């Protein structure tokens, strides 16, 4: 397919903020695309060239892209950088400079989506001597054959900053609409496979192909999540009696996959972090029996000398680490806490009830202290026993309890009647940043005064601004770190104020929830403070305004 046809779709998507319009644009477009092209077209619409879960990254920095633009347009790098500082969008910069390009290429070839896709996919494979020049050459080749509009979206794809407002929910709805399949089937397939390129291919072939999607070792999937509970009574009322109660740990969720050949580690956000935890692979191979499996776990950090469990932020440094991995492994060792098994030796277990899955897990794992253990649990209908267990877990420095319906199957996402979590009453909130201001003086290059929001359906409603709990340097949460995370997601700039596409979730503490006419949610947080970043959480885990309202009423009582 001509790349220009896709560019026209990009422009249409960029011109509207309405989700239904975006869904229709994509749906009408992909309806007539051949099965052979559909996969990579879906990826490109999402602004990516690799499915989620692959450890491959395009890996082109803004500085390197500036060199590419300079070479392709004939303008010096300083000129490109100057324009970039004005707009904050290298896509717009290359579009503008390509219009002014003096030196025209006479032997232009018509760009295809396949050519753009393949050239960009080659970038992570290039290494060794002269690799930078080879990468620049591949990208310059694309720009030399592109018109200004095509150049804009090629550069944005390279930087993984499309700015056209296409979230996975829109892709899901477009696939359902285009191929006349139930959106719930597409959603379910997306949770099990997490690859909308592949899902679109299957949907095009019919409902039967889509319904056959199942868990597959080596392919990341969404995880089952717990609904927050305010009391033990509420848990028993919702889940019935008896219930299984497990210790809730302050680590990060990780699915261990063994496809019979390789071990893979996937976070709840579908990131492949296998390379970041090489110290765990020998433990997994030795302590877990089986040819192939998928096991749901929590990775919890501990202090090497005292063996005391550490908060999440201590090991969060390991998730995105690319260098000095062995050093980090010694500094922040982790123990694997296993609590569920979803697949074993060729058989998917997600439809088995919890009681049976737990028994299977206990047979499969050979526990070893501080290497791999199964979470402590009790099965009871006695509130006093739960209270006693709750207190003992908190005394050990753990977060709280996870309660589970003994008859529940494993279903990715949250659903009523499945799992619930109980934490101490001094609850924190998981909120998302939707705006900020550029700082002044020594903070002039950093974003600050972050506007935070809760959810209401598919909307994000402001609930306050936060600036405390963030350090300038030598800390896990710094203005520099947050700015780096948010900058690619800036959608609008007006003076010092910026609007930000929801992407970065922060755990926020506060003194009190107050009613407020200032913010869209109708509430504001008194003395909010950032406790930690939550890169392990997805947008569907942002706290709902209903929960804010519930906590507000509870504090009044």
Confidence of residue 349 (pLDDT cuts 50, 70, 90): very high
Residue 168: closest CA among 204, 202, 193: 193
Does 312 or 198 have the greater pLDDT score? 198
The mean pLDDT of 347-360, rounded to a whole number, is 96
Does 330 or 450 have the greater pLDDT score? 450
Confidence of residue 104 (pLDDT cuts 50, 70, 90): low
Q: Tens digit of pLDDT for each residue in 181-203?
A: 999 999 999 999 889 999 999 99
Confidence of residue 141 (pLDDT cuts 50, 70, 90): very high
Q: Tens digit of pLDDT for each residue in 362-380?
A: 999 999 999 999 999 999 9
Residues 6+ apart with CB under 8 A from 85: none
462 contacts 434 by C-beta, under 8 angstroms: yes
Indicate if the pLDDT at residue 107 is higher than 70.
Answer: no
Sign of CA dihedral 526, 528, 534, 538: positive
326 C-beta neighbours (distance < 10 Å), count? 9
> In degrees, to the nearest 5, what angle opens at C-alpha 91 toward C-alphas 170 and 17?
30
Fold topology of 48-159: DNA ligase i, domain 1 (1.10.3260)
Q: How far apart are CA 405 and CA 236, in angstroms?
A: 9
The mean pLDDT of 469-498, rounded to a whole number, is 85
Indicate if the pLDDT at residue 103 is higher than 60.
Answer: no
Q: What is the pLDDT of residue 105?
A: 52
Q: What is the pLDDT of residue 61?
A: 86
Asked whether the domain spanning 429-556 has the same topology as the one spanning 239-422, the reply is no
Q: Tens digit of pLDDT for each residue in 45-75?
A: 999 999 887 767 888 888 899 999 999 998 9
Residues 6+ apart with CB under 8 A from 84: 62, 66, 90, 93
Q: Tens digit of pLDDT for each residue in 146-159?
A: 999 999 999 999 99
> In degrees, to the nearest 5, what angle opens at C-alpha 356 toward C-alphas 354 and 361?
90
* Residue that the structure tokens 């060239």 belong to: 49
The mean pLDDT of 392-399, rounded to a whole number, is 87
Confidence of residue 436 (pLDDT cuts 50, 70, 90): very high
Q: Are strands 293-301 and 263-267 parallel, antiparallel or unpaired?
A: unpaired
At 406 the three-state DSSP class reads coil
Indicate if the pLDDT at residue 227 is higher than 80.
Answer: yes
User: What is the 3-state composition of the chain as percent helix, strand, coil, each rounded to the nearest 5?
Assistant: 40, 25, 35
Q: What is the pLDDT of residue 413?
A: 85
The mean pLDDT of 502-514, rounded to a whole number, is 91
One of 248, 404, 451, 455 is an active-site residue; which one?
248
Known catalytic membership, residue 101 = no
Residues 6+ apart with CB under 8 A from 498: 435, 436, 437, 438, 447, 490, 492
Q: What is the pLDDT of residue 425?
A: 66
Q: What is the pLDDT of residue 441?
A: 62
Q: What is the pLDDT of residue 68?
A: 94
Q: Which value, to the nearest 10 degrees, does the dihedral of the CA atoms of residues 232, 238, 244, 246 take?
A: -60
Indicate if the pLDDT at residue 266 is higher than 60.
Answer: yes
DSSP codes of every residue in 220-283: ----B-PEEES-HHHHHHHH-SSEEEEEE-SSEEEEEEE-SS-EEEEETT--B-GGG-GGGHHH
Indicate if the pLDDT at residue 442 is higher than 70.
Answer: no
Indicate if the pLDDT at residue 502 is higher than 80.
Answer: yes
| SS3 sequence of 16-40 | CCCHHHHHHHHHHHHCCCCHHHHHH
* Residue that the structure tokens 């309405």 belong to: 18
Give the homologous superfamily in CATH for domain 429-556: Nucleic acid-binding proteins (2.40.50.140)
Q: Are strands 293-301 and 429-438 parallel, antiparallel or unpaired?
A: unpaired
pLDDT more than 70, % of the chain: 97
Residues 6+ apart with CB under 8 A from 272: 53, 54, 55, 220, 264, 265, 266
Q: Tens digit of pLDDT for each residue in 20-49?
A: 999 999 999 999 999 899 999 999 999 999
Q: How far apart are CA 481 and CA 446, in angstroms?
A: 9
Give the lowest-confidence range in 24-38, 102-116, 351-365, 495-509. 102-116
Indicate if the pLDDT at residue 322 is higher than 90.
Answer: no
Burial class from Cβ neighbours inside 10 Å (0-12, 13-18, 19+) for residue 121 reads middle
Confidence of residue 239 (pLDDT cuts 50, 70, 90): very high
Indicate if the pLDDT at residue 95 is higher than 90.
Answer: yes
> In degrees, to the nearest 5, what angle opens at C-alpha 258 toward C-alphas 257 and 264?
50
Structure tokens at 436: 């900020």
Q: What is the mean pLDDT of the chain?
A: 90
φ/ψ of residue 207, rounded to 5: -60, -35
Longest Cα separation, the chain: 81
Q: What is the pLDDT of residue 343?
A: 97
Query: Taking the domain 239-422, which CATH number applies?
Result: 3.30.470.30
Q: How far apart are CA 314 and CA 325, in angstroms?
A: 14
70 C-beta neighbours (distance < 10 Å), count? 20
Indicate if the pLDDT at residue 526 is higher than 90.
Answer: no
Domain chopping of the chain, boundaries: 48-159, 239-422, 429-556
Q: How far apart are CA 315 and CA 301, in angstroms?
A: 6
Angle between helices 35-45 and 113-122 (to 10 degrees): 60
453 contacts 432 by C-beta, under 8 angstroms: yes
φ/ψ of residue 379, rounded to 5: -115, 120
pLDDT more than 90, % of the chain: 64
């Amino acid at each position: 397919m001509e790349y220009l046809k896709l560019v026209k779709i990009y422009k249409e998507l960029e011109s509207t903020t309405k989700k239904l319009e975006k869904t229709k644009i994509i749906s009408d477009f992909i309806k007539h695309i051949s099965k052979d092209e559909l996969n990579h077209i879906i990826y490109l619409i999402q602004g990516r060239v690799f499915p989620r879960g692959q450890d491959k990254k395009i890996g082109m920095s803004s500085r390197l892209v500036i060199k590419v633009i300079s070479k392709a347009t004939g303008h010096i790098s300083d000129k490109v950088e100057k324009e970039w500082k004005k707009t904050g969008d290298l896509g717009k910069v290359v579009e503008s400079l390509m219009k002014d390009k003096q030196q025209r290429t006479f032997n232009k070839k018509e760009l295809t989506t396949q050519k753009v896709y393949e050239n960009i996919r080659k970038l992570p494979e290039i290494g060794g001597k002269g690799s930078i020049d080879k990468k620049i050459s591949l990208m310059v080749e694309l720009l030399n054959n592109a018109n200004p509009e095509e150049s804009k979206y090629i550069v944005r794809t390279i930087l993984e900053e499309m700015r056209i407002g296409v979230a996975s929910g829109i892709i899901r709805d477009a696939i359902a609409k285009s191929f006349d399949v139930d959106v719930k089937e597409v959603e379910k397939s997306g949770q099990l496979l997490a690859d909308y390129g592949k899902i679109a291919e299957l949907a095009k072939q019919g409902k039967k192909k889509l319904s056959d999607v199942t868990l597959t070792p080596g392919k990341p999937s969404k995880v089952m999540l717990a609904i927050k509970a305010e009391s033990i009574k509420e848990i028993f009322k919702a889940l019935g009696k008896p219930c299984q109660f497990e210790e809730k740990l302050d680590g990060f969720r990780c699915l261990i996959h063994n496809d019979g050949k390789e071990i893979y580690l996937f976070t709840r956000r579908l990131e492949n972090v296998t390379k970041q935890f090489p110290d765990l692979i020998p433990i997994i191979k030795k302590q877990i029996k089986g040819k192939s499996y998928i096991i749901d776990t929590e990775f919890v950090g501990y202090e090497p000398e005292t063996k005391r469990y550490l908060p999440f932020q201590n090991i969060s440094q390991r998730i995105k680490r690319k260098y000095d991995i062995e050093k980090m492994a010694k500094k922040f060792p982790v123990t694997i806490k296993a609590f569920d098994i979803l697949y074993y030796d060729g058989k998917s277990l997600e439809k088995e009830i919890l009681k049976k899955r737990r028994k299977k897990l206990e047979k499969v794992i050979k526990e070893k202290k501080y290497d791999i253990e199964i979470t402590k649990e009790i099965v009871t209908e006695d509130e006093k026993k739960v209270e006693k267990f709750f207190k003992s877990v908190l005394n050990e420095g753990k977060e709280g309890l996870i309660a589970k319906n003994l008859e529940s199957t494993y279903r990715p996402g949250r659903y009523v009647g499945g799992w619930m979590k109980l934490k101490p009453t001094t609850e924190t909130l998981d909120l998302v940043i939707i705006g900020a201001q550029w700082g002044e003086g020594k903070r002039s290059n950093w974003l600050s005064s972050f506007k935070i929001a809760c959810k209401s359906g598919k909307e994000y409603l402001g609930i306050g601004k936060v600036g405390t709990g963030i350090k300038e340097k030598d800390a896990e949460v710094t203005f520099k770190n947050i700015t780096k995370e948010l900058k690619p997601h800036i959608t609008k700039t007006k003076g010092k104020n910026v609007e930000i596409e929801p992407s970065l979730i922060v755990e926020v503490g506060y003194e009190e929830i107050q009613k407020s006419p200032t913010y869209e949610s109708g509430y504001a947080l008194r003395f909010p403070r950032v406790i930690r970043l939550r890169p392990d959480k997805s947008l569907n885990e942002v706290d709902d305004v209903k929960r804010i309202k519930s906590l507000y009423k509870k504090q009044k009582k």
